[in-house]
Amino acid sequence: MLDPSIVLDEFQLEKAITFIDNNSHIYNFYVPSSLIEYIKRTDNNERDYAFITQFYGKRDINLGNTSNIMSNYPNINKFEAPVIFKEKHLEFYNNLREHIRKQEITSISFPLADIIFEEWVFLQEYSWVIAMYKKVFNFFSEAGGLVIEGSQKILDNAVSRTLKKENHDVITHAHRLRSLGKWIAVSGPPLISSQYDFEKSVIGVLIGVSTGVFLLFDPE
């Protein structure tokens, strides 16, 4: 999944589209449904615009251009969390909304909590989340997620020792996806399917028995 920090930056989005064109046979690409629906209906009111540019650290955001690109490009899908996973992660969602309220992070209509929640569900239940900035992953932690964070080299070594030798897909994909964004997180099926040796690895134990754990690869 692509974080809004990539989608809302025209330069980064164009880079992402080039990457997607070259790798659509390997991956399926998603963005939060709440973000797409917001972009479609937005009237670019000044308060929301100011909020979005400040929150995502972008000085120039053209929601109209982003909407046109997203509407005409078939290889990026929108992701809406299924009801069963909304219920499963309801406590996280409530914690997230409370954290946003306490931080006094507000806008008129921008669905920040819903966007971050869809990213969280996707990370936990499906696959990777890629972002230009660390902010979304900080929100994950504040709402109850447990992050195992380290540099690419450190996590490569840890994962290499943890995974069975014949299955190092997590490392391979992390290196490949690095060109999309600086910060990369993985949890859920990509780790579980990687056949961890739980008796020999603290990481394996955490991922295997805990809900809400994710690996975060720092920029090098």
pLDDT computed for residue 83 by the predictor:
96
Residue 52 tokens read as: 């979005």
Using CA atoms, how far residue 107 sits from 55, 110, 151, in Å, is: 10, 6, 34
Q: How many residues does the chain have?
A: 220
* Least reliable range by pLDDT among 21-35, 60-74, 135-149: 60-74
Q: Which residue has the higher pLDDT, 201 or 22?
A: 22
List the chain domain ranges. 4-218
pLDDT computed for residue 92 by the predictor:
95
Instruction: Give the residue carrying structure tokens 């900035």.
Output: 133
Task: Give the global pTM.
Answer: 0.83
Q: Is residue 214 helix, strand or coil?
A: strand
| Tens digits of residue pLDDT in 64-121 | 777 777 777 888 898 999 999 999 999 999 999 999 888 877 666 778 899 999 999 9
pLDDT band with cut points at 50, 70 and 90 for residue 218: confident
pLDDT computed for residue 118 by the predictor:
97
Element (H, E) at 151: strand 146-151
Q: Which residue has the higher pLDDT, 77 or 40?
A: 77
Helix intervals (H) in the chain: 4-7, 10-23, 33-41, 46-55, 63-72, 83-88, 90-102, 112-125, 135-142, 152-162, 169-177, 189-192, 202-209
pLDDT computed for residue 107 by the predictor:
66
- In angstroms, how far is the first alpha carbon of the chain from the final one? 21
pLDDT computed for residue 161 by the predictor:
47
Residues contacting 118, CB < 8 A, separation 6+: 32, 33, 34, 79, 80, 81
Q: Which residue has the higher pLDDT, 27 or 58?
A: 27
| Tens digits of residue pLDDT in 144-198 | 998 888 665 655 554 554 444 444 466 666 667 777 888 888 886 655 444 444 3
Closest CA to 85 of 130, 59, 120: 120
pLDDT band with cut points at 50, 70 and 90 for residue 62: confident
Task: Encode 162-183 in three state secondary structure.
Answer: HECCCCCHHHHHHHHHCCCCCE
| Tens digits of residue pLDDT in 6-18 | 888 888 888 889 9
